[in-house]
């Protein structure tokens, strides 16, 4: 029996094996991160499609989409932050004319990021309290929503509480035609994986592309 077999692995050999394992783990992690980010983006696209379908059902029942500012329907209900998506949640949660219209949304997708509430909740809505909730994306930021009537005057819904600062929030126009996307319906988008609002462009996830 050789001396090498008698003494087992040397310290240097053990360190080399550990270094190889750490390197391989790092490579695998680097490969998994983009895939995880892509999966979150795809899930966010599916969530937008789900919300969009519910908004169309609301339109079929009420003849209009939810306003950008819920105060248009229920005076005094908005605090100036996350107005658009709070209006969407409130309107889609009304239990009248076939509502609530957004069914099966995971509880983790609801949040009250700005901590606001209303003294009088919308008539016969689904929630059991008076909190004004948002629908949040996979990065826990609120979706942005604008009714088409407010595209030219977005001040009613341009203040949002993202975890990262973004550009001034405003509806997006097509660079090819200079007209607003979804000119007669609504725009909704997520700030995306970088958590920075770009008004539906760059890494944002929107309902027009």
pLDDT in tens, 169-185: 999 999 999 999 999 99
Q: What is the spatial distance between Cα 54 and Cα 89, in angstroms, rounded to a whole number?
A: 10
pLDDT of residue 156 exceeding 90, the answer is no
Which segments of 63-148 does DSSP mark as H helices, in order? 83-92
What is the predicted pLDDT for the residue at 51?
97
pLDDT of residue 86 exceeding 90, the answer is yes
The structural domains of the chain, with segments of one domain joined by +, span 40-206
**How would you label 141-173 residue by residue, b for 16+ Cβ within 10 Å and e otherwise?**
bbbbbbbbebbeebebbbbbebeeebeebbbbe
> Would you say 209 and 69 are in contact if contact means Cβ atoms under 8 Å apart?
no
What is the predicted pLDDT for the residue at 209?
85
| Mean pLDDT computed over every residue of the chain | 88
């Amino acid at each position: 029996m050789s001396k090498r077999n008698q003494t087992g692995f040397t310290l240097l050999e053990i360190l080399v094996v550990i270094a190889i394992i750490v390197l391989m783990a790092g490579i695998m992690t680097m490969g998994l991160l983009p895939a995880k980010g892509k999966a979150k983006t795809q899930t966010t696209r599916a969530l937008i499609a789900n919300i969009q379908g519910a908004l169309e059902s609301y339109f079929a029942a009420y003849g209009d989409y939810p306003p950008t500012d819920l105060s248009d329907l229920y005076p005094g209900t908005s605090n100036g932050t996350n107005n658009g998506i709070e209006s969407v949640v409130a309107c889609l949660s009304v239990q009248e004319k076939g509502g609530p219209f957004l069914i099966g949304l995971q509880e983790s997708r609801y949040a009250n990021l700005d901590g606001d509430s209303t003294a009088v909740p919308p008539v016969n809505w689904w929630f059991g309290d008076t909190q004004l909730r948002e629908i949040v994306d996979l990065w826990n930021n609120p979706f942005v929503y604008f009714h088409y009537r407010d595209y030219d005057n977005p001040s009613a819904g341009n203040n949002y509480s993202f975890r990262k600062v973004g550009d001034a929030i405003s509806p997006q126009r097509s660079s090819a035609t200079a007209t607003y996307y979804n000119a007669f319906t609504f725009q909704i988008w997520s700030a995306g994986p970088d958590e920075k609002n770009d008004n539906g462009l760059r890494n944002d996830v929107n309902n027009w592309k």
